[in-house]
Chains A and B, each alone.
Chain A
């Protein structure tokens, strides 16, 4: 299958230090890829380069075959590259229903409308209800976000991503900060993501990585040192070496 998302020889250096060095990745629709790496490996920089929040020193980012390297982050979102945040970024005074409706309206190019409430738009209401229901948030639809639990806020982040109907979804530690009791909900939501969506997940929690990903990419010191099956990653010598120091033994990954 042709690549829906591709990164070619991406480079970014701060001062003389190459934080992302010649990174190339290709993903097809339906891929479930986890990007892992020890602290300081350059994961955050990589995410920012992909989303367009940082400009690369060299290399290209392609979405569905189109070069989007010159586009800013909002233009990339409109072309189907959507991200979630490591620490939830939501509107504290707005309700989940308003969040999802706004995302749907934005996707459809109706967010600039100055007349009529979204509540009077039946199609938006239906889709909002359906998305909230998928993620088990229906009962909280009218609560203000600052009043709902963190685990549910994380689910709402996923709801926003789904409402935008992306082609490529970048999940930045989707389970970070979620109490143990709620991680099951997040995992279920991740398992239920649309089958044709390409998902790239940045994650520290190895249990989650091995349950979710069918392919693992290991980043260390700004370079890809492994790209392959999760089961092979734990046996790879370079991966073990990279993790020595931050993890006692790569065997504990499995």
Chain B
């Protein structure tokens, strides 16, 4: 057993950084390639692809608190909806129609909603925690419904007309600008989140999921850390909501619904919790499946989605990405 000299460990640290950056570059390239393929293959369906991108941000955000920290929640759409209404309200009522300003306000609104729901949800554990999260999304839904002067109530908040991006690229009828805007946003968020989940803070969060008492015995504050993660998660969900508001130019109560919360959780479980790739793959699979199957069989598509989910939970409990990743890791270990 030798203690590495400082030179050794310094050089291994740099090479390590290079090794660990490579998956990020690959991840960005894969997302970009998939986005370009989507653009070329489905030029008439860019609205759906943009919607998938916005929901992917919601599912990534959910993964941060559920997958990485182990917090059970069925109320995460409250953060997404806060971002959507935040972006919509500044555009409609305050005339701030610059897409970046709308995005910024959406992120702030989402982060604030994350702070509030984090503080409430983290008061409890397990089943009571889940119930609190459901209560939050129902409350948020009801507040948005009642405050119709601001939100348009059940009619939705219409009349959102974002300016051209950089004053150059108008949000066009085919949704090209919105799509590119959304993909660039997703890639930026992905890169930032990769940093966060790998950082000491991310490691602390994984520790909390695995044994909160041990984290306390190390002298770290469990709730303080989780609230921070909730705020980050809220910012990401808020970005998703703002993207949805900018691209569809309307915000409806469905963006604050229990259904959306539950669907996000289903997508996350489908793709695999505790991995950013799992969140992306789960969203893409679920929404693509929903689109194809509901077109083919509008009456029974939910039955088919249900069957798919049961199959995944029973036969691939780590989710689609988790199962594939575990299979590759096992193969690598066997061959090594």
A binds B: yes
B1, B9, B214: which contacts A90 (Cβ < 8 A)?
B214
* A78→B199 contact, CB < 8 A: no
| In contact, B211 and A73 (Cβ under 8 angstroms) | no
Q: Is the CB of A114 within 8 A of B195?
A: yes
B1-37 to A contact mask, C-beta < 8 Å, 1/0 = 1111010011011101100100000000000000000
Which residue of B has the minimal Cβ distance to A160? B218
Shortest beta-carbon distance from B181 to chain A in Å? 25
Among B16, B17, B196, B198: residue with most chain A CB under 10 A: B198
Residues of A within 8 A of B213 (CB): 89
B binding-site residues for A, Cβ under 8 Å = 1-4, 6, 9-10, 12-14, 16-17, 20, 195-196, 198-204, 206-207, 210-211, 213-214, 216-221, 225, 228
A120 touching B17, Cβ below 8 Å: yes
Stretch at the interface among A125-133, A182-190, A233-241: A125-133
**Once bound together, how far apart are the Cα atoms of A179 and B245, in whole Å?**
61
Cβ contact within 8 Å between A118 and B203: yes
User: A122 near B199 (CB under 8 angstroms)?
Assistant: no
Task: Give every chain B residue within 8 A of A119 (Cβ-Cβ).
Answer: 13, 16-17, 20
For A89, give its contact among B196, B204, B214 (CB under 8 Å): B214
Residues of B within 8 A of A180 (CB): none
**Supplied contacts A105-B200, A117-B16, 5 more A-B pairs, CB within 8 Å:** A102-B218, A112-B228, A114-B195, A121-B13, A138-B2
Interface residues of A in 54-106 (CB under 8 A from B): 73-74, 77-78, 82-83, 85, 89-94, 98, 101-103, 105-106
Chain A 143-177, CB within 8 Å of chain B: the 1/0 string?
Answer: 00000000000000000100010000000000000
Contact size class for A?
35 or more
Residues in A whose Cβ lies below 8 Å from that of B221: 74
Given contact pairs A92-B210, A114-B201, A121-B13, A106 touches B1 in the complex (Cβ within 8 A): no
The reply to whether B220 and A122 contact each other, CB–CB distance below 8 Å, is no
Q: Please state if A113 and B199 are interface contacts (CB–CB under 8 Å).
A: yes
With A92-B210, A122-B9, A126-B9 as contacts: A115 and B17 at CB distance below 8 Å: no
Q: Name B20's closest neighbour in chain A (CB-CB).
A: A117
Determine whether A16 belongs to the interface, using a CB cutoff of 8 Å to chain B. no
Q: How far is the CA of A180 from the CA of B195 in the complex (A)?
A: 44
The CA-CA distance from A111 to B220 in the complex, in Å, is: 8
26 CB-based A-B contacts, threshold 8 Å:
A77-B218, A77-B219, A78-B219, A82-B219, A89-B213, A91-B206, A91-B210, A93-B206, A93-B210, A94-B203, A103-B218, A107-B219, A111-B220, A112-B200, A113-B201, A114-B199, A116-B199, A116-B200, A117-B16, A117-B17, A117-B20, A118-B203, A119-B17, A129-B4, A133-B3, A138-B1
Give which listed residue, A83, A112, A138, contacts B225 with CB less than 8 A: A112
Contact A118 B200 (CB under 8 A): yes
Tell which of A90, A92, A105, A130 has the most Cβ of chain B within 10 Å.
A105
